[in-house]
Amino acid sequence: MAEIVLNVEVRERTGTGGARAARRDGKVPGVLYGGDKQPVPIAVRANEFRKALYTGKLLGHLVTLKHGGETQSVIAKDVQMHPVTDEPWHFDLYRVDAHQQIKIAVPVHFKNADEAPGIKRGGTLNVVRHDVELLCPADRIPEELVFDLTGLEIGDTIRISAFQLPEGVSTTMDRDFVVATVTGASAAVEEETAEGAEGEAAEGSED
């Protein structure tokens, strides 16, 4: 069940002029795409759209679009923000069926970096992919993929196979690709080398 409902209005005017008119009326203009229907210019009241956006569950999630007595399951795939005010400026919605298989990028997050010996010794988590494209039912989109860094050492590689994907969810690439690695920091290596050299020099002077 979608958690967010957007009450939309169909815009009579299209193009830049129509979008400006919607903003003057306190609305955010957008376009509804997808399915076997033509794109439809729509608008949502700005305060309602901001509220939905700032929940963090608008982009990449199943949303219910409501127009009068009709409802439609949609996915919000793009929201443009004003470069100065950082207010929502335009959005794109795509029609989907609740159980339809869709491709969507899901963010990757990492936890327990302080429990990774390699990072504690000066290593760095090098993230190759900050998000991963998944194939999943529209009503079962994961909010994120999380990997536990506990126990990782310098030189360890984190591949997609190390993530526990929900049932019915798969990646769109048919290979075990790299998501992140733990690399050694050059500064830390130089420091260890210098410390080792000093130790050897001290031992030599004692002899």
Write the pLDDT tens digit of every residue in 45-86: 999 999 999 988 888 788 899 988 889 889 988 899 999 999
How far, in Å, CA of 70 to CA of 54, rounded?
A: 25
Is the pLDDT confidence value at 8 over 50? yes
- Residues paired with residue 63 on neighbouring β-strands, in sequence order: 4, 74
Whether residues 109 and 199 share a domain: the answer is yes
Cα 171 from Cα 164, distance rounded (Å): 12
| 137, 101 contact by CB (below 8 A) | yes
117 shares a domain with 37: no
In angstroms, the CA 190 to CA 168 distance is 47
Last residue of a domain, one of 46, 70, 96: 96
Neighbours of 68 (CB within 10 A): 9
Are residues 113 and 83 part of one domain?
no
> Same domain for 157 and 86?
no
Structurally, how many domains does the chain consist of?
2
The residue behind tokens 């219910």 is 64
How far is Cα 193 from Cα 140, in angstroms, rounded to an integer?
A: 50
Please check whether residues 119 and 176 belong to one and the same domain: yes
Looking at the structure, do residues 195 and 139 belong to the same domain, yes or no? yes
Which one is predicted more confidently, 92 or 196? 92
Please indicate, yes or no, whether residues 150 and 57 belong to a single structural domain of this protein: no
Do both 26 and 89 map to the same domain? yes
Looking at 62, 96, 130, which one is the last position of a domain?
A: 96
* Tokens 């690399």 sit on residue: 183
The C-alpha angle 47, 48, 50, rounded to 5 degrees, equals: 65
> Rounded to an integer, what distance in angstroms lies between the CA atom of residue 184 and that of residue 125?
9
- For the segment 117-131, the average pLDDT, to the nearest whole number, is 95
Tokens of residue 50, six digits:
């901001």
Q: Is 0.95 topped by the overall pTM?
A: no
Arithmetic mean of pLDDT over the chain: 86
* Domain co-membership, 84 together with 163: no
CATH of the domain at 146: 2.170.120.20
Which CATH number fits the domain that encloses residue 73?
2.40.240.10
| More confident call, 177 vs 63 | 177
Q: 150 or 34, which is more confident? A: 150
pLDDT value of position 204: 52
Residues of the chain with pLDDT > 90, as a percent, come to 59
Q: How confident is the model at residue 190 (pLDDT cuts 50, 70, 90)?
A: very low
Count other Cβ atoms within 10 Å, centred on residue 41.
18
Residues 122 and 190 in one domain: yes
- Last residue in a domain, options 74, 96, 118: 96
163 pLDDT band, cuts 50/70/90, is very high
The arithmetic mean of pLDDT across residues 85-100, rounded, is 90
DSSP-based helix, strand, coil % in the chain, nearest 5: 25, 40, 35
Average pLDDT over residues 121-146: 92
Segment 97-120, tens digit of pLDDT: 878 898 888 999 999 999 999 999
Structure tokens at 31: 């376009």
Residues 185 and 132 in one domain: yes
Same domain, 18 and 110: no
Range of the domain at 190: 102-204
Of 116-125, 162-171, 178-187, the poorest mean pLDDT is in: 178-187
